[in-house]
Structure 1
């Protein structure tokens, strides 16, 4: 059987590694990898790529843009999207753009094989798993991909509640000292007036606080989308924050095999400036593993920032939990 030329396109080393491990061991493959859409497009234009396993959320050219380019240039290869963005609208859009299938991250080996077999790309009797060399994965890359998957699940829930399409960013993951954290918070609050909801969490020795920052000018639009004009603004913000923070933390917990207990969400510094928020909470944020996720709602002038602030002691425990993914 001649080898099939397969290209994996994902900006995450961990995601590419997971896909390599999920491919059937007996499938003769000529494997190529690309860390972004432009790199993948250039490789496909060279010719000879039969199958593309494609991520959606990437920095230079995202999966939607790559699919559009493939269609515009009449470039032939079968595209299977493998993404953390599991919104119904995301699935509809990629299939409309020419993808032949959609698989949610992390790709389940059985589901991947069934999908490949249903498309006539492999014999359904191929042995399941194989170990393919894929290199080392650093902690930041591994944890960013874990957060990416959790973020996608939270966005899918938010999209259903609000009836909108949530535009997903690439999460930023950094270890920040207190001064750097203050700068990150200042960047998140580009306007002078904002409201933040804070919720603590702990599980398996891993602890931190989630901070959801809303710009005051967008709160009324959020209330309209949630159809909650009958009750007060703080209650609406607490409900939305609880939904989004819980969904994101649950997605992380499931992947690293812990259970997070969450405190009650609290509105912090309502209608205060970002400087006031920092002043009120600076003692709680010393050195921290900071995850920043900036959500936008398509068709609405609504943007809000979710910060997950893990304590310094949590980093070593997270590293141990992620070790099996990184090895």
Structure 2
């Protein structure tokens, strides 16, 4: 009798990677959900004896799904598969009832080992089962777009950077779903101005280049975050502009370095990084943009917004890749489309 498996992840790429990692000879009926609410509806209807669950999703995230499963006493074995690799994330999901926590990207060996450990898998030597599995992968391939690939790569890199910052500060980093778009520079400027709000920020940028791919990382650290960040990093006394700059540079070094490294590893390349440059302290978006930061016309813009639980600390990291990098990028992501 087939096992009902549910893969719940907002990323089309991640759903395909997860489905591909399942043993081909496993007799399963696989269903998919694009966010937690869809996932809960599928579980209630009996489509998930085994659930592979992402954490960072719109509508209802993975933590909320685990809480609902526990609240409703649903009989499901949940394996969390996430790019958020903070140690606290792992502890929280296990406390909420997940049986395992796996970091993205998944491997077939990891999945098979876990399934066997819990007695969930034994090979069924049936060619029809293998053909059904392969057909599902092909169907998922057809629905994957270029931006889907960049978003999943960014998601994994974002989680790696958050884990480093969380370890340094002994906190829990709240992570959103990355935003990825191809934008004209004028559209990017308009988007920044629209989301600016009343806060000012300090801004740092750092260029990177490698294997025909180039871009800039721009960190916007909101000024309202300085007081709490100083406490976390044990700075004492009055906050001067010099100390504030040290705080910004410390955060920038961690987030920018880890994100760029995470992306490079997934693309199997090495980036050379330029020196970080301070674009301004206590400035608003209009003043920053008046400096003419970007010289190209179009960019692949990846927006990662970090905030710290129980603290008034937030920053935005923008990874902006040049339009003439797109040919090399498309070649590098081809493995996600096959």
TM norm. shorter chain > 0.5: yes
Distance 1:126 1:265 in 2: 56
Task: Supply the RMSD in Å over aligned alpha carbons.
Answer: 1.9
- Which secondary structure state, in structure 1, belongs to the residue aligned with residue 288 of structure 2? helix
Q: CA 1:284–1:199 in 2, change beyond 3 Å: closer, same or farther?
A: same
Partner of 2:206: 199
| Kept after mapping to 2: 8 A contact 1:175/1:288 | yes
| Kept after mapping to 2: 8 A contact 1:6/1:30 | yes
Distance 1:232 1:288 in 2: 33
- Which secondary structure state, in structure 1, belongs to the residue aligned with residue 119 of structure 2? coil
Distance 1:294 1:186 in 2: 16
Partner of 2:228: 221
- Scaled by the length of structure 2, the TM-score of the pair is 0.91
Deviation at 1:120, TM superposition (A): 1.4
Deviation at 1:5, TM superposition (A): 0.8
Partner of 1:273: 284
| Kept after mapping to 1: 8 A contact 2:25/2:124 | no
**Residue from 125, 135, 146 that aligns with 2:141:** 135
Distance 2:32 2:205 in 1: 40
CA deviations on 1:303-322 (whole Å, 9 max, x unpaired) are: 11000010011122111110
**Residue from 242, 256, 259 that aligns with 2:270:** 259
**Residue from 311, 314, 321 that aligns with 2:325:** 314
**Residue from 164, 170, 175 that aligns with 1:157:** 164
| Kept after mapping to 2: 8 A contact 1:213/1:306 | yes
2:217 counterpart of 1:210: yes
| Kept after mapping to 1: 8 A contact 2:26/2:124 | no
Q: CA 1:47–1:234 in 2, change beyond 3 Å: closer, same or farther?
A: same
Distance 1:283 1:246 in 2: 20
**Residue from 282, 289, 293 that aligns with 2:300:** 289
- Which secondary structure state, in structure 2, belongs to the residue aligned with residue 246 of structure 1? helix
| Kept after mapping to 2: 8 A contact 1:11/1:34 | yes
Distance 1:282 1:267 in 2: 12
CA deviations on 1:185-217 (whole Å, 9 max, x unpaired) are: 224532342110110000111001000001112
Deviation at 1:284, TM superposition (A): 2.6
Instruction: Please show how residues 95-244 of structure 1 align to structure 2 within 5 Å.
Output: 95-123=94-122, 131=134, 132-133=137-138, 134-136=140-142, 137-229=144-236, 232-244=243-255
- Which secondary structure state, in structure 2, belongs to the residue aligned with residue 270 of structure 1? strand
Distance 1:125 1:34 in 2: 26
- Which secondary structure state, in structure 1, belongs to the residue aligned with residue 290 of structure 2? helix
Deviation at 1:224, TM superposition (A): 1.9
- Which secondary structure state, in structure 2, belongs to the residue aligned with residue 281 of structure 1? coil
Aligned residues, how many? 325
Q: CA 1:66–1:210 in 2, change beyond 3 Å: closer, same or farther?
A: same
Partner of 1:17: 16
Gaps of 5+ in 1: none
CA deviations on 1:116-167 (whole Å, 9 max, x unpaired) are: 111111138999x974432321000111000000000110111001111000
Distance 1:94 1:201 in 2: 35
Partner of 2:67: 68
Deviation at 1:232, TM superposition (A): 2.4
2:39 counterpart of 1:33: no
